[in-house]
Homo-oligomer: A and B are copies of this chain.
Amino acid sequence: MATIKERSKAIRAVHDTMDVLSGKWKIAIITSLSFGEKRYSEILKEVEGISGKMLTRELKDMEMNLLIKREVLNAQPVTVQYSLTKYSENLLPIICNLRDWGTEHRKKIIGK
């Protein structure tokens, strides 16, 4: 059986992931980019309700956390494109599990 130290390390790791996914917008941005790389304006349109200022801040934070890649395309006018890193693609199965459990939970709690 896991020692108390191992258990608290495990719980801290879970909270680390929750912190990365926390907030109203990160999961929506990851979901949007999971369908392929996108320009800033495309993400802004697709993620319902997010402001330009908020999207800029979230993209910077996600880039720092190595969740997304930012590429400047050699085009006229200059275009900036965002995509998920290999690393954040590992989050997609977790996000799907969270979605499935949440869907069941809503039925169970609202259906009771």
Contacts and interface: CB of A to CB of B under 8 A. Distances in A.
Contacts of A42: none
A10 B112 CA distance: 21
Contacts of A100: 13
Contact of A93 (B2, B10, B97): B97
Contacts of A8: 28, 48
Interface residues of A, number: 46
Given A13-B103, A18-B102, 9 more contacts: A13-B98, A14-B31, A16-B102, A18-B18, A66-B109, A90-B101, A94-B94, A94-B97, A94-B101
23 contacts: A2-B35, A7-B31, A10-B99, A11-B99, A12-B102, A13-B99, A13-B103, A14-B27, A14-B102, A15-B27, A15-B102, A16-B102, A17-B98, A17-B99, A18-B21, A18-B98, A20-B102, A20-B105, A22-B22, A90-B101, A93-B97, A94-B94, A97-B97
